[in-house]
Chain A
Amino acid sequence: MDIDPEDVFGDEDDPENEFYQEDQKCVSHFEAAINSISVSLKTQIINRSYDEVAICFFNTKEKKNLQDLIGVYVFNVPEREDLDRPTARLIKEFDRLQESFSKQIGSKYGILPGTRDNSLYNALWAAQALLRKGSTKTADKRILLFTNEDDPFGDMKGVTKLDLMRTTIQRAKDAQDLGISIELLPLSKPDDDFNVSTFYADLLGLEGNDLAEFKALAAERFEDIKDQLRKRMFRKRKVRRINFIIPGGKSIELNTYAVVRPTNPGNITWLDSAERSFFCSDTGALLQDPPKYFQTYKSENIMFTANEVSDIKRVSTGHLRLLGFKPLSCLKDYHNLRPSTFVFPSDEEVVGSTCIFIALHRSMLRLKRFAVAFYGNSTHPQLVALIAQDEIMSPSGQIEPPGMHMIYLPYSDDIRPIEEFHTDTNLAPRASEDQIKSASSLLKRIDLKNFSVCQFANPALQKHYAVLQALALDEDEIPDVKDETLPDEEGLARPGVVKALEELKICVYGENFKQEDDDTMGSQKTSETSNKRKALKELTVSELKHYLNVHNQPVGGKKEALISRILTHMGK
């Protein structure tokens, strides 16, 4: 299996009658739970669509589960196993569930005095059974428990209560022993805080500090579920294992990871079949065999078979060979071609690799140098720069992992001397001290203090996900996606910023410069023609020629010329 169901989660819900009778303005706990599950399903189907999920209510009137336990209802839709990947249909029907809930499933408090029924026990049992599928080695199994009742056995008394509590906690322990983790998401009543210690602390096995932290974390988790970015998640997986050869014959083992890669909207599946056929362009004959390749060289055709082509490409060894070190200042900003690759040492096969790596890493950090190496990758043999990156930690976790980043360097063939393309005999104008000074004051004004590289979500991608979700779920309107990448208009309109900008403008452009006005004046005059020109540009050359033909105009020249001719003709 390529992608494993890494995270299986069973949701349970505990609706109680009292909430329906409550004030309508206040979102009931049940609704809150349903909403947050719905949001998390919608995110999950994009972020980790191979994860499997089951939804199970307890304290219900109806029962529907494999073991036929009372008060437990496993919600599902056709064409789907109880525990399976989320589908559009599941999300759709789950969204509609709120209206039909009381009719279809209904709620009934399951733990009543006088009976030995224990719906919480049943629910845990059902969830454990649902999570039987798959091994704990490849999957991370979780039960998320949504409830508002901090004391489920409150109505019970004496020995029965103790007994029920004991069996329920035992059930939870059994599940945990099987590698299933149980997480509690408490929904507290407005006038009454959810008291974890009454019962659930024992069930979850919380003690001491954990207990104190639990509440804060629980609230955070709820927020997290709601505000998750739709972002495809990738499991940490090494791209390749490479040997890093150091002069003197030492060869250490490194793993490479793709930490930064552009995310695309996902694979396109064309909904029609494509057929490809080859024709000989000389004779028009249909060709069957996989063709040979050729290249013209000294006006001869040199032939290659497909195997030979791949042989030629495979000249290199796949090793990373250290050539030497340079100071960081030698790495220029234009020495870049592709996203970098992260390398981290491994002692899996060669013991001692990590030690050498750490030693080099520290030296490079301290001496502010980077390593130059030749990476004999089979498709792109390339010179690379290895930059040591120290670990950066924040209270919420690791921001930058320790290791080295492999930056692919361009060759002279790849670098274009653009700067010199427009040089003329005159000296290039240079800004004066004053101008630089006023630019500096602008820089100070528009300063993004805590800018972090990945603070923006890709608006195109978020829009794509939103559209996809709307279409898949037959939603009527497409949700608006906020484009976070637009400049902060308000910030730029602050008087300080405006003043700095005006100053720079006068300083550089001069007092009487009226760029905007020139533009608008000019554009008003020409706008009509330019609009027409734009419209004509949309047409194809043959369409343009058709017009010219009809009006007895010459049809020669490039598209640009055709458009001009049409415009002059129309202007007459």
Chain B
Amino acid sequence: MARNKESLVLLIEVGPSMHGVLPEVEKVCCLLAEKKLIYGKYDEVGVVAFGTTDTKNDLTVEVGGYENVTVLRDIKVVDGALVDVLHQLPRGSARGDFLDAVVVGMDMMIKKYKETNKGKKRLCLITNAVTPTRLPYEGTKEDQVKTVAAQMMAHGMKMDCVVVRAQKDWDVDKKIVEENDFLLGLLSNKSSSKVYVGNATSLLGALRTRNITPVTTYRGDFELSYIMKIKVWVYKKTCEEKFPTLKKYSDKAPPTDKFASHEIKVDYEYRSIEDPKRVVPPEQRIKGYRYGPQVVPISSAEWEAVKFKPEKGLKLLGFTDASNIMRHYYMKDVNLFIAEPGNTKAILAISALARAMKEMNKVAIVRCVWRQGQTNVVIGVLTPNVSAKDSVPDSFYFNVLPFAEDVREFQFPSFSNLPSSMQPNEQQQDAADKLVQMLDLAPADGEEVLPPDLTPNPALELRSKDPSANIPQIDETLKRITEPDPELLHQNTAVIEEFCRSFELKENPKLKKSSRRIREKPTGSSEDGEGVAAAGQAMDAAEYPSQVKVEQDSNTVQEFEAMMSRRDSPDWVRKAFQSMKDKIYNLVEDSVEGDTYQKILECLVALRKGCICKQEPEQFNDFLRHLNKFCHERHLDSLSDFLASNNVMLISKSEEPESNVPETEARVLLLKEP
């Protein structure tokens, strides 16, 4: 845990020019803090606001200057108070100087950690960079920035600059903006990353929650052939971030024990099947693999002797045209191949290959065995990643490719062979073209919307909001990820409308409703019968209001019998019972002066027969008692009388041994109770 611990100082500009976006910034920073509470609860965070009316920082006391910079929170382990601080950022009235803020932030870090925590210290600057920085006492601004950057390097600090440029037409001085951008560029080129964000969603994505100390997957030679080798390191480039696993809770510890961990330990014990008394140690367990219908046991010792043991190493198989590797064959998360840091010759070699590959549009095929003792090999493709930034060396992305066994050769019909009714006509194709063209998320003149690098995972955000709230609400910022942007839709209303007009969709009339309904039912079988059945009916009724009624009346009994006779799943019987009971209740409720009594009688007789047949007399008995009570409450005693006169009674012990009702009582109940 402590390995990935990081310390972060948030530097937030709160001057007048930022007031417009501050609500967003507050929200995003709160989310960041909340995420930290879950993902990095040992991380330490400090908060500095600049452009504030007041001044409160160590440097101003010690050396003077550094006005309008307020330390809102010293560097401390994350807690609830941090969220509160970020929730209500002060609105400042002064012009913010980001360079001052950076220096204050650095000073806090240096004082707190001295030389330790190298590489785990991060400054995060959130600004719009439209206000000018002060002229330093000596030298130029550029010199000052260079000194700051050098200091940062020396102390192993990193910095993320998030530049919020929401409103383009803000009343700003172009020259100042350019100067600031230049300074920030200088700073970032030397030491850190800089991102410009346009909207709240990408602001959320730009703020990295967790700073993971990367671990190499492989260090060693990349072998072009025995003649030439290049020293490389391999890292993971993408890796799915998951919600932390919940721990199992034990309530055994006494409530007075404040330090109880409440955790649960799991213990496994393995026993041999032939001799259940003998406990097998975990390393002596025997694996079995299927060979046809049989299972072939292979002990780990045997396996060890014969298994596939490739030598560790990366070997080049050759180069090929990029078009030979289709994008959808990438199998896994992505790795990054970089030359061994500090090894100039290796960096040059990688750079030469990457640039040549980029120029010729080629990719390299490599065979990888990351570790000694690994039992498989990986075949993958290297694609060049020519760096745009001067300080970053060129590298390769590595994607795993499938083996022959991994590709399933499913055949699908050619589109051109499909019937003409499924082929779009010219006008439809035109509408589709327009939609594809206009519903543009990466306009040539603007910024790409939802770039993966700046799009946060809404599920992680949601769940970290407040774990105690059961069904989290998606807020507007995250809706931009799960739903189309209303503004974009609005701009293209005409195109979308034309598209919708061009194509017609309708339900398949050939598909029978009943089959559809039946197909849906087994899926609901894991749920509690009643609720789902009711919901399903409500839906059906909404879809086919008129037909359903008729159908219900005529086939209830047949449908019930058909369901009872199905053998593919025991759930059918339960379903049948449930739906029958629901229908009887409906009939009772719908009855007007006894017009449905005959129908009810038929249904009850069928249900009774079914219950006896399936040896579930209590199902029926309970139901009948319940129905009786129900009738009584609604003053429908005439129904009870009607049923009694038609000899509908409880299932007695003599009829079905499972029943608890003696024969003598079977008839009595209906007549005498309530």
Contact = CB atoms under 8 A, between A and B. Distances in A.
Contacts of A352: 503-506
Contacts of A166: none
Contacts of A315: 459, 462, 471-472
Contacts of B456: 411-413
Nearest to A410: B238
Contacts of A389: 326, 328
Contacts of B261: 281-282
B290 A269 contact: yes
B531 to A, nearest CB: 14
Interface stretch (A10-18, A155-163, A210-218, A241-249): A241-249
B287 interface: yes
Q: Which of B257, B328, B459 has the most CB of A within 10 A?
A: B328
B404 interface: yes
Contacts of A448: 317-320, 324, 365
B500 to A, nearest CB: 4
B337 to A, nearest CB: 10
Nearest to B302: A471
A426 B391 contact: yes
Nearest to A452: B324
Given A248-B499, A268-B289, A414-B457, A454 B402 contact: yes
Interface stretch (A121-129, A397-405, A560-568): A397-405
Nearest to B257: A282
Contact of A455 (B210, B263, B404, B499): B404
A348 interface: yes
Interface stretch (A173-181, A182-190, A199-207, A253-261): A253-261
A424 B308 CA distance: 41
Interface in A348-368: 348-356, 358-364, 366-367
B291 A472 contact: yes
Interface string A213-252: 0000000000000000101111010000000001111111
A301 B457 CA distance: 24
B249 A293 contact: yes
Contact of A297 (B38, B150, B235): B38
Contact of B508 (A280, A301, A349, A515): A349
15 contacts: A251-B505, A273-B270, A294-B247, A296-B41, A333-B385, A349-B508, A350-B505, A356-B424, A403-B412, A416-B237, A439-B355, A443-B319, A444-B360, A468-B296, A509-B349
A486 B367 contact: yes
Interface in B354-379: 355-357, 359-360, 362, 365, 367, 375-377, 379
Contact of A326 (B291, B448, B482): B448
A405 B327 contact: yes
Nearest to B250: A280
A430 interface: yes
A428 B448 contact: no
B227 A501 contact: yes
Contacts of A413: 209-210, 241, 456-457, 460
A471 to B, nearest CB: 5
Interface string B564-583: 00000000000000000000
A340 B385 contact: no
Contacts of A467: 298, 303, 306-307
Interface in A286-332: 287, 291-299, 301-304, 308-309, 311-312, 315-316, 321-327, 330-332
Given A338-B331, A412-B205, 6 more contacts: A261-B408, A309-B246, A339-B330, A403-B412, A407-B328, A419-B338
B343 to A, nearest CB: 10
Q: Which of A87, A251, A442 has the most CB of B within 10 A?
A: A442
A351 B508 CA distance: 6
Nearest to B152: A425
Contact of A418 (B336, B402, B421, B429): B336
Interface string B600-626: 000000000000000000000000000
A141 to B, nearest CB: 20
Interface in B480-502: 481-485, 488-489, 496-497, 499-500
A260 B408 contact: yes
A272 B457 contact: no
Given A281-B263, A381-B458, A250 B505 contact: yes
B253 interface: yes
Contact of B412 (A344, A358, A360): A344
Contacts of A419: 336, 338, 385, 387, 392-393, 395
Interface stretch (B131-139, B272-280, B649-657): B272-280
B353 interface: yes
A391 interface: yes
B227 A505 contact: yes
Given A280-B252, A505-B227, A355 B421 contact: yes
Given A354-B422, A412-B206, A337 B252 contact: no
A113 B106 CA distance: 107
Given A301-B262, A331-B327, A333-B383, A460 B308 contact: yes
Contacts of A298: 37, 79-80
Interface string A452-494: 1111111111011001110110000010010101111001110
A474 B344 CA distance: 56
Contacts of B488: 324
B114 to A, nearest CB: 21
The bracket for how many chain B residues form the interface is: 35 or more
Prevailing SS type, chain B contact patch: mixed
B428 A359 contact: yes
B288 interface: yes
A196 interface: no
B415 A367 contact: no
B333 interface: yes
A510 interface: yes
A464 to B, nearest CB: 7
B496 A248 contact: yes
Interface residues of A, number: 202
Nearest to B460: A413
Contact of A267 (B235, B290, B431): B290
Interface string B425-457: 000110111011101111000001111111111
B496 A295 contact: no
A337 B239 CA distance: 7
B294 interface: yes
B405 A458 contact: yes
Contacts of B6: none
Contacts of A455: 404
B529 interface: no
B379 A485 contact: yes
B296 A446 contact: no
A248 B265 CA distance: 53
A45 B292 CA distance: 5
Contacts of A436: 352, 355-356, 359
A411 B241 contact: yes
Contacts of B91: none
Interface string B305-340: 011101000011111100011111111111010100
Contacts of B333: 336-338, 410, 414
Given A333-B385, A436-B352, A440-B359, A291 B252 contact: no
B470 interface: yes
A504 to B, nearest CB: 7
Nearest to B441: A324
A447 B318 contact: yes
B667 interface: no
A87 B294 contact: yes
A440 B316 CA distance: 15
A413 B38 CA distance: 14
A381 B482 contact: yes
A272 B271 contact: yes
Contacts of B353: 439, 443
A547 B320 CA distance: 54
